Amino acid sequence: MAIGSSTHLGADQPSDLVPPGADPLTAPGAKSRRSRLRLPSSLKVLIGLGTLIAFLLLAVIGPWIAPYNPTRTFSTTVSFPQPPSVAHLLGTTQQQQDVLSQLLAGGRSTVLVAFVAGLVATALSVVVGVTAGYLGGLADDLLSMLANFFLVMPALPLLIVIFGFLPASQGGDDLLIGLIIAVTGWSWGARVLRAQTLSLRRRDYVESARIIGERGWRIIGFEILPNLTPIVASSFLFTVLYGVGTYTALAFLGLINPNHLSWGGMLFYAQVAGAEQSGYWWLFIPPGLAVALLGTSLALLNFGIDEFINPRLRAAGLTRRRARRAGLPGAAQLPRRFVLGLTPVVRYTPVTVTGGVTASHQPDEGGSQ
Amino acid sequence: MNAPLLSGARAGEPLLEVSGLCVDYGAGPGTVHAVLEADLVLHRGEVLGLAGESGSGKSTLAYAITRLLRAPGMITGGSVGYHQEPGRVVDLLAADEGVLRVLRWSQISVVLQSAMNALNPVFTIGSQLTDVLRAHRPGMGKAERRARAAELLAMVGITADRLDSHPHELSGGMRQRVMIAMALALEPQVVIMDEPTTALDVVTQREILEELMELRERLSFAVIFITHDLSLLIEIADSIAVMYAGRLVERAAATALFRAPRHPYTLGLLSSFPALHGPRKQLTGIPGSPPDLRQLPAGCVFHPRCPYVMDRCLTERPPLLQLGVNGEWSGPGRWVGAGADRAAACWLQDGSVAAPPELARPAPGVKQPAGLVTSAEPAEPVVPSAPATRSQP
Amino acid sequence: MRVISRRIGFYILTAIAAVTVDFFIPRVMPGNPVSAVIAKMQGAVITKATIRALEVQFGANTPEGLWGQYVHYWSNILHGNLGISTSNGMVPVTTVIRGALPWTLGLVGTATVLSFVLGTLLGVLVAWKRGSWLDNLLPATTFFQAAPYFFLAFLAIDLFAIKLGWFPAGSARNTLDFPALDWTYISDVLDHAILPALTIVVASAAGWVVGMRNVMITTMDEDYVLIARAKGLPKSRVIWYAARNAILPSISSFSLAVGFVVSGALLTEIVFSYPGLGFILLTAVQDADYALLQGIFLVITMAVLLANLAADFVYVFLDPRTRQEA
C-alpha cells in the first residue's frame, strides 16, 4: 500500500511538513484550545465512519453470527472447493469449511491486530515525536535518527524475517503480532509530531508557560498535546490501515499460525488451492474485499481529518451546484467551478463606451464569466 | 523603448474606472461583504493611494478589479472599465480569459507585499523576468529577452549576474526590487502595489520608494498604492481614497486630505500618528474596533466609533457625496462622471448641518493629479507635499 | 553538497544497522533455528557438515563469543557470502538471489517508476481541475490504496487471464523456450510482465494521486501562482509553475513509500508466480530457509536504501534551496 496522506514529508524543517500558511491550529487567542469535535459533513467521511463502525461490530459479534463453526469440515471425500450454494452462501474451502463463517469469524483477529498495532504505534510516535520536538538538542538528534532508521527500513521484509524466525506457537497471539507490527509503524507519525511540536514550542503561549516555570510535562500535556489531536488521530487511522495491510500480508505468506483464523489466512489458503488459476473466486474475493473495504473506510476517514487539518483541501469557493442547493439567486451565473485568476462575476453593470458610467446600478443584469 | 512622457491632453485622462463595485466572500448567510459600492477613477500617470485598516477591503478591491481575487471571493455588482485607448474601453468584468490574459501584465501589473512568496523559489530570477516576455512578446529571441531582463534589473539597481540567482539568495530589499522590475517588464499603464514596503525595514523602505517614484517619472505609469500607512501616502500619492469596512469613505487629492480632511475616520487616522516636528500633542487614535463584515451596523458604517455621530447616522447610510474642489458640497446626487475630486461619505458634509471646524478646514492649494484639466479653476501654486512641514495640521 | 553527504552517512549507518538486525534476529528469537531447519528438510541428506554449517550460521554451539560471530558475519557479507540456501539444493544464497534479482528489478523497478509518474501527473490534473467530476475519482482511489496488492493481483488474473484470456496467468515467460535475445523471447517476457506490472501500478498510483493532489492544492494557493496568473502566462505555464514546486514533497514521500511499494510488489510476484525475489521469499518462508530469508532481507533493504539515495539526489537537484552556493 502506498502512502496517500496530505502531510507530506520533506526536510526536517517544520515548515516543510505543515502546508505553508495553513495553520488552523492557531486562531486569535488560541491557547490550549481543545480541537472541538466537529460533526463530519462530507459524504465520504460519513460513509467511511459508517463502514468502520460496521466492521468494528463485526469484529465483536462475528463469530457468534456465523452460521457454522468456521473450522468444521463438511466432507472428507470432496477435495475441491465448492462454489456458493444454498447451504454454503459463499461456498467452501478446499478443506470443505464454510467460507462465510470463516469470513465472519476472521474479522475479529484482523481488526484486533490492526487496532492494537495502531494504538501502540501511535503511543510510541507521540512519546518519541513530542519528546524529540520539545527537548531538542542531543535527545532530538538521537530520537530523530532512530525514527529515520525505522522509516527507511522496509517494513514488510523485516517483519517477514522476524515472523519467519518466530516459532509457530507464538504466531497466533494477536497482541504479540500487533506489538511487533507496531514497532515498524510508529516512525512516520513520530516525524510529523516532532515537526509540529517544534513549531508549537516556539509559540508565545508555550514560551510564557516555560518562563513562569511550568513543568515540562505539564506544558506538553496541557498546551501542546491538545493542539496535536487532529494529527494524532490521522496518524492513528493511518497506522491502523498499515496494520490491516501488513497483518493480512503476513498471514497471506503463511507466517501466521495457520490455525489462527484471519482474512489474510483465508487468502493464504486460497493461494494454496490455486484459486486464481482455477477460478475459485469465492475463496479470495470475500476476504480480499473485506480487507479492502476496511482499509477504504479508514482512508476515507483520514480524508476527512486531512481536510480538517488543512482547510484548503475542502472544496474551494462556491460552485454552481452548491449555490443552487443553497437557493441563491444568480446561481446560474457562477462558473461550474472556481478557476484561479478568473474571479467569478455574479452580477455586473456593463461599461458604456462613452467613458462615463451612469450612477444607477442595474441589478440582475445577468453576466457570467 | 521608453514610453514617451505623458503630455498635454493624454495626461490625466481616466484610465481605470470603477463604479459601484461590490465584492462578497461566500454567499448565503454568513456572507462577508468585503467591498460595498466602491467608486473610484485612476487617471493616467496618477498615484492613487488606497488606505485603510486591515480588513477594510482595500486589497480585495484592488484584486477584484483585475479579477485576481481568490476563492471564495466573487464580484456581485458594479462595473470596471479600463481605457486602453481613447474611445476604447475594456469591460474587465465581462472580459473572458483570453482578453484578460492579453491585458494582464502588459497593461496592468501587480506587486505584492512579500516578495519571498511572490517569487517562485525554484526558478531563477532571470527566467521569472523573461517568462512574461515570452508570453507577451513572441517576436523576441532568447538573447533579446535576456538582455531586456538585464536592463530591467539595472533599472532597479541590481547587477545582471543576479539573473541566474534564485530568490532565496537575495536579500529582502533586493527581492522587492526584483518584483518591481518584474512588474515593469512590459511597461504597463497601471501597477497595483499591495503594501510593497510593509515587510521591509524603514531604511530599505525609503530607498525603494524613492526608486519607485523615480521610475514613475521615467516611465509614467499609474499606481494604485495600497497601504495602511497613511503617512506614506501623503508623500507619494497624488490622490488618496480611504476605505473603512468595505466602503470608500473619503476621496481627495493627497494634500487636501492631509490638510483638510472631511470624514471623521480620516481625521482619526491622521491624529493617530505623531508629527516629527512641532509641539507635543496627545494621540487620540480611534476608540473601538472595526465591525464584523458579516454584520455591518445600520446607517453609517462608522457611526459606532464616530465622535460626531448624529441621530441620522444611525439609520441612514451616507452615500459618497461629491464635494467641490474647495470642499463644499456641490449638489444632490452621487458621483457622476469621471474626474477625481473631493468626496466624502458623511452626513456632516451634506450642507444640512454645520460641520465641526476640524472637518471644515479650507483646502490648501490643491496639487492636481498630473495634468488633470479642471474646469475653469485658476491654476493655484502647487504646495510641495513634503512631510517635514507637518507642524500645522 | 553537504546535504547529500549527510544522507549518505545516514544510509551507511542504516545499512550497518540492517546487517546487525539481520545478525541478531535468529539469535534473539525463541526456539532453535537449527532444529527448525532440519525439521523442514525432510527427505534431504543431512550430514554432520550440514548441521555444523547451520550452527555456525545461527551462532548455536560455537566457541566464538557473540562479538566474534558478529565480526565473522560481517566478513562473510563483505566477501559476498550470504550463506547456504537449504531449500534450493544447498547452493549459495547469492546464486539464488542473483537468479531472481533481474526479474524483480525489471518488473518492480519499472512499475514503481511508472506508477509514480502516472500518479503524479494525474494528481496534478485532479488538483487543477478542482471542483469538476474528477474529484469523484478520489474516493475510488482510496479503495485501490486500501486493497492489498495481492488481492488486486488475484482479481487481475481472474479477470484478464482466466476469464478474458488476454494475458498469461503467471510466471515470467514460457518456460519451455530457451532464453535468447530475440524478439520472440522479449515479447514473451513483456507479455507475461504486463499484468503484474499493471497490478502494481494500479495499486500504488492511487497513493501518488492523492498525495500530489493535496500538495498541488496547497501550492496553488501560493502567491507566486497568483502572480503567474496575473502575468497573463498561458495556463500550461501556470500549472508548471505550481507543479514544479509541488513535486518536491512528492519526491520525499516517494523515498518513504518505496519500501511499501517494493513490499507490495513482492507479494504481487508471488501471486503471479513471477520468479523474482518475492517468489523465492515465499519458498524460503515455507521451507524455513533462514539463510535465504536473511539474504533477501539484506538485498531488499540495500535496494530500498539506494532508491532513497537516488530520490535524495533528485530532490537536491530540483530544489535550489538545498544547494549551498557561493
- Taken in order of first residue, the domains within chain B and their CATH numbers are 14-237 (3.40.50.300), 238-276+295-385 (no CATH)
Gap from A155 CA to chain C (nearest CA, Å): 7
DSSP C147-207: S-HHHHHHHHIIIIIIIS--S--SSSS-TTSPP-SSHHHHHHHHHHHHHHHHHHHHHHHHH
Most confident of A267-281, B265-279, C4-18: C4-18
Question: Is B246 part of the contact surface with chain A (CB cutoff 8 Å)?
Answer: no
Distance CA A29, CA B96 (A): 43
Touching C: A residues 35-94, CB under 8 Å: 44, 47
Question: Is A320 part of the contact surface with chain B (CB cutoff 8 Å)?
Answer: no
Q: Kindly state the average pLDDT of the residues C10-18.
A: 85
Q: Which residue matches cell numbers 548455536?
A: C60
- pLDDT band for A34, please (50, 70, 90 cuts): very low
- pLDDT band for B191, please (50, 70, 90 cuts): very high
pLDDT at A121 over 90: yes
Out of A101-110, B361-370, C11-20, which region has the weakest mean confidence (pLDDT)?
Answer: B361-370
Contacts of C139 (CB under 8 A, 6+ apart): A44, A47, A296, A300, A303
Nine-digit cell string for C1: 553538497
pLDDT confidence of residue C83: 74
List chains touching B (3+ CB pairs under 8 A).
Answer: A, C
Residues of chain C in contact with residue B103, where contact means CB-CB under 8 angstroms, are 232
Residues of chain A in contact with residue C220, where contact means CB-CB under 8 angstroms, are 340
Mean pLDDT of chain A: 73
Question: Is A322 part of the contact surface with chain C (CB cutoff 8 Å)?
Answer: no
Instruction: Yes or no: say if C266 and A159 are a contact pair by the CB < 8 Å rule.
Output: no
pLDDT confidence of residue B192: 93
Contacts of A20 (CB under 8 A, 6+ apart): C218, C222
The candidate with the shortest Cα–Cα distance to C143, out of A235, A286, A290, is A290
Of residues B318 and A325, more confidence is placed in: B318
Instruction: Yes or no: say if B247 and B37 are a contact pair by the CB < 8 Å rule.
Output: yes
Strands B321-323 and B342-344: antiparallel
Question: Is B190 part of the contact surface with chain A (CB cutoff 8 Å)?
Answer: no
Residues of chain B in contact with residue A16, where contact means CB-CB under 8 angstroms, are none
Residues of chain A in contact with residue B335, where contact means CB-CB under 8 angstroms, are 359
ipTM: 0.80
Q: Kindly state the average pLDDT of the residues B242-260.
A: 86
Helix axes A174-185, A225-252, angle to 10 degrees: 120
Question: A13, A313, A318: best mutation site toward chain B, by most B Cβ within 10 Å?
Answer: A318
* Residue B47, strand partner residues: B223
pLDDT at A169 over 70: no
Gap from A159 CA to chain C (nearest CA, Å): 10
Using the beta-carbon criterion (under 8 Å), do C230 and B104 form an inter-chain contact?
A: yes
Gap from C93 CA to chain B (nearest CA, Å): 46
Nearest CA in chain A to B333: A359
Q: Kindly state the average pLDDT of the residues A114-133.
A: 90
Nearest CA in chain A to B23: A345
Question: Is C69 part of the contact surface with chain A (CB cutoff 8 Å)?
Answer: no
Could you tell me how far CA B388 lies from the centroid of its own chain? 23
Distance CA B242, CA B263 (A): 9
Question: Is C325 part of the contact surface with chain B (CB cutoff 8 Å)?
Answer: yes
State pLDDT tens for residues A275-286: 777 777 888 888
Nearest CB neighbour to A292, from listed C147, C204, C238: C147
List chains touching A (3+ CB pairs under 8 A).
Answer: B, C
Question: Is B103 part of the contact surface with chain A (CB cutoff 8 Å)?
Answer: no
Q: Which stretches within chain C are classed as H helix?
A: 2-28, 33-40, 48-58, 66-78, 93-104, 110-128, 137-146, 149-156, 183-220, 223-230, 235-271, 277-286, 290-318
Distance CA B184, CA B162 (A): 17
**Residue C284 vs residues A156, A169, B44, C273, C276: alpha-carbon distances, Å:** 15, 19, 81, 14, 13
Residues of chain B in contact with residue C245, where contact means CB-CB under 8 angstroms, are 120-122
Using the beta-carbon criterion (under 8 Å), do A164 and C238 form an inter-chain contact?
A: no
Could you tell me how far CA A58 lies from the centroid of its own chain? 19
pLDDT confidence of residue B331: 46
Gap from A212 CA to chain B (nearest CA, Å): 32
Using the beta-carbon criterion (under 8 Å), do B104 and C224 form an inter-chain contact?
A: no
Q: What percent of chain C has pLDDT over 90?
A: 7
pLDDT at A18 over 50: no
pLDDT at C30 over 60: yes
Distance CA C173, CA C238 (A): 46
Nearest CA in chain C to A168: C31
pLDDT confidence of residue B6: 40
DSSP code at position B111: E
CB pairs under 8 A between A and B: 107
Contacts of B361 (CB under 8 A, 6+ apart): B259, B260, B261, B327
Rounded-to-10 torsion of CA A91, A94, A99, A105:
170
Question: Is A15 part of the contact surface with chain B (CB cutoff 8 Å)?
Answer: no
Contacts of B16 (CB under 8 A, 6+ apart): B41, B42, B65, B80, B81, B82, B83, B108, B190, B222, B224
State pLDDT tens for residues C109-138: 888 889 999 999 999 998 888 777 777 777
Q: Calculate ∠ Cα A221-A226-A227, nearest 5°.
A: 125
* Residue B108, strand partner residues: B104, B190
DSSP B118-181: HS-TTS-HHHHHHHHHHHH-TT--HHHHHHHHHHHHHHTT--GGGGG--GGGS-HHHHHHHHHH
State pLDDT tens for residues C283-317: 887 777 777 888 888 888 888 888 888 888 888 88
State pLDDT tens for residues C247-296: 988 888 888 788 888 888 888 888 888 888 888 887 887 777 777 888 88
The candidate with the shortest Cα–Cα distance to A131, out of A43, A225, A65, A205, is A225
Q: Kindly state the average pLDDT of the residues A118-131.
A: 90
- pLDDT band for A15, please (50, 70, 90 cuts): very low
Q: Kindly state the average pLDDT of the residues C94-100.
A: 83
DSSP code at position B297: P
Q: Kindly state the average pLDDT of the residues A157-183.
A: 78
Residue A334: what are its φ and ψ, rounded to 5°?
Answer: -75, 150
> Is B76 strand, coil or helix?
strand
**Residue A175 vs residues A170, A178, A237: alpha-carbon distances, Å:** 10, 5, 18
State pLDDT tens for residues A293-324: 888 888 888 877 877 777 766 655 556 666 66
Question: C219, C223, C250: best mutation site toward chain B, by most B Cβ within 10 Å?
Answer: C223
Nearest CA in chain B to A319: B72
Using the beta-carbon criterion (under 8 Å), do C229 and B68 form an inter-chain contact?
A: yes
pLDDT at A229 over 90: no
Nearest CA in chain A to B88: A353
With residue A37 as reference, give the H or E element that holds it: none
Nearest CA in chain A to C211: A4
pLDDT confidence of residue B384: 36
Nearest CB neighbour to B68, from listed A341, A346, A357: A341
Q: Which segments of chain A are extended strands (E)?
A: none
**Residue A304 vs residues A9, A37, A300, B271, C26: alpha-carbon distances, Å:** 20, 13, 7, 49, 43
pLDDT confidence of residue B333: 36
Q: Which stretches within B156-260 are classed as H helix?
A: 172-183, 202-219, 230-236, 254-259
Question: Is A271 part of the contact surface with chain C (CB cutoff 8 Å)?
Answer: yes
Using the beta-carbon criterion (under 8 Å), do B168 and C234 form an inter-chain contact?
A: no
State pLDDT tens for residues C139-195: 777 788 788 888 888 888 878 777 777 777 666 665 555 566 677 777 777 777 888
pTM of this prediction?
0.78
Rounded-to-10 torsion of CA C270, C273, C279, C285:
70
pLDDT at A356 over 70: no
Of residues A34 and B95, more confidence is placed in: B95
Gap from B68 CA to chain C (nearest CA, Å): 7
Question: A5, A13, A18, A153: best mutation site toward chain C, by most C Cβ within 10 Å?
Answer: A153
By the 10 Å C-beta count (0-12 exposed, 13-18 middle, 19+ buried), B366 is classed as buried
Gap from B123 CA to chain C (nearest CA, Å): 8
